[in-house]
Amino acid sequence: MKKTALISTIALSTLIASVYPVSAAPFQRHSAGANEQNISESIQPIKLEVEQTVKDFFDSLNKKDSAKYLNNVAHSQDDSTKYVSSHLKEGNIEIDIIKTQKINDSEYEVQVKKTENGKEYPVIPYDVVLEGDKWKVDPTNIVVTPKEILEKQAAELGTSLASSQIANMQNIVGENENFIVRKTSKSEDTVSPMSFLTYNFGERSVDIYSPGALGVETIPGNNDHPIDSLNWTIASLYEKNGSQYTEMQFKSLSPTSTDYATFSVSGYYAVSARNFNYPDVTGKFNAVW
């Protein structure tokens, strides 16, 4: 009887041990933690490399170092990028990196707070992409509009800039008392002489080399809003500079009929058109050069 009881006790202990292993759970938790730590440690050197690229990018702008700029900016083989590198402007840029986030294995987003020539910008989320084996800053989808430009646009029509007008702008990622920052879809190609391209309202054109004049033909679609001082089409000109596109000039055009504007500029620029106050108004525009 005692021998049978002893065997039963041993069998029961074995069964319990097989169902509830004592050391497995702690070991698994330790392994999971180790894996997370290994992943974090593998990302850290890349993150530092990405952030150093951003620092070198802005250092090249401060020093007007064309070679360093091309080494740290994406699309360095594009004609427009080479043009920008040979026309870097005097500037005093101070930056702080606020946050670095991995998007995928070949792209990070780095949030940068910068002060340029004494003016503070909102935090700007720059893309940093892997080209070959080198990380590079891609500023092609960053568009900065000085609020003084918007105020001029409103004053031209006898109105004042309202928060509702700013709210109607699409893809805003930052705003302060000086600037509005938008992150738009990227233009794929650079084009040059003598042609035209058609876009929808709200899109931005590719980089276009203008030998002296760049035209925008606007073709508004259906417009059911009152035809008054709030209802108008805006054609905008964006200069491609070192770290972003900046809205430089604008023309106010008809909200309902085909209209045309000419910008007298030389160099690489982009253009866009939209209804300034009513984003639901669709239409098309031609960039003509």
Give the whole-angstrom CA distance, residue 141 versus residue 122: 15
Q: Where are the alpha helices (DSSP H) in the chain?
A: 2-19, 24-63, 66-72, 79-85, 147-156, 163-167
Which of these CATH numbers, 3.30.300, 2.60.120, 1.10.3470, 1.10.3210, describes 143-288?
2.60.120
Is residue 271 within 8 A of residue 286, CB to CB? The reply is no
Q: Provide the residue ranges of all domains of the chain, joining segments of one domain with +.
A: 43-138, 143-288
Give the whole-angstrom CA distance, residue 102 versus residue 51: 12
Q: Please give the backbone phi and psi of residue 140, each rounded to the nearest 5 degrees, phi first.
A: -70, -15
CATH class of this structure's domain 43-138: alpha beta
Could you report the per-residue pLDDT of 55-108, keeping only the tens digit for each?
A: 999 999 999 999 999 999 999 998 889 989 998 987 899 999 999 999 999 999
Is residue 260 within 8 A of residue 194, CB to CB? The reply is no
DSSP character string of 1-47: -HHHHHHHHHHHHHHHHHHS-TTHHHHHHHHHHHHHHHHHHHHHHHH
Coil, helix or strand for 149? Answer: helix
Ranges of the chain whose pLDDT falls below 50: 1-31, 188, 190, 192-193
Coil, helix or strand for 210? Answer: strand
Kindly state the DSSP code that residue 123 receives in the 8-state scheme: P
pLDDT for 41: 60
Q: Please give the backbone phi and psi of residue 76, each rounded to the nearest 5 degrees, phi first.
A: -70, -15
pLDDT for 271: 95
The amino acid present at 195, given as its one-letter code, is S
End-to-end CA separation in angstroms for the chain: 104
pLDDT for 40: 55
pLDDT for 161: 62
Equal CATH topology for 43-138 and 143-288: no
pLDDT for 12: 42
Which of 196, 202, 210 has its CA nearest to residue 233? 202
pLDDT for 90: 78
H/E stretch holding 236: strand 233-240
Pairing of strands 119-120, 107-116: antiparallel
Is residue 93 within 8 A of residue 58, CB to CB? The reply is yes
Is residue 278 within 8 A of residue 217, CB to CB? The reply is no
Give the whole-angstrom CA distance, residue 21 versus residue 5: 23
Is residue 76 within 8 A of residue 67, CB to CB? The reply is no
Residue 273, C-beta contacts closer than 8 angstroms, at least 6 positions apart: 199, 201, 216, 218, 233, 234, 235, 236, 253, 283, 285
